[in-house]
Structure 1
Amino acid sequence: MLRWALGFLGVSLVAAFCGFYLLAHMYAYAAKIIFIIFLVLSILSFIDSFLERKS
């Protein structure tokens, strides 16, 4: 999932460099959303593995 976020960020940077600012904004927003989902799932996985080791 992190690769998807980085891919969208890369497309966003290329689009901004070429002058497609609306497209760049949409890809940057998508990258941000995917990155937040990645962080939430990573934290939940960490908590789950931590609780599993205790029991």
Structure 2
Amino acid sequence: MATEKPTASLEKIKDFLNSQINDEATWAFNMKLLRALGLFCGSIFIMRNFGDLMAI
């Protein structure tokens, strides 16, 4: 019955991901965003696990 709808949305997702990866300007922005997110999450992890060692 509704087999066409999920494949259409899957194709839209694939097109979106390809447009984000294959375009150089968009990829550069996405890499900056991923690095910032990784640094943020890494700093939260470090402070939660080793924050007591940094206390004065």
> Match for 2:28 among 25, 29, 33?
25
Q: Which has the higher contact order (CA 8 A, sep 6+)?
A: 1
Q: Deviations over 1:5-53 (max 9, x none)?
A: xxxxxxxx7423xx310001001110000000010000000024xx4xx
Q: Partner of 1:37 in structure 2?
A: 40
TM-score by length of 2: 0.52
Q: Which runs of 4+ in 1 moved over 2 A?
A: 13-16
Q: Which has the larger radius of gyration?
A: 2
Instruction: Point out where structure 2 has 5 or more consecutive residues left out of the alignment.
Output: 1-16
Q: Normalization by structure 1: what TM-score?
A: 0.53
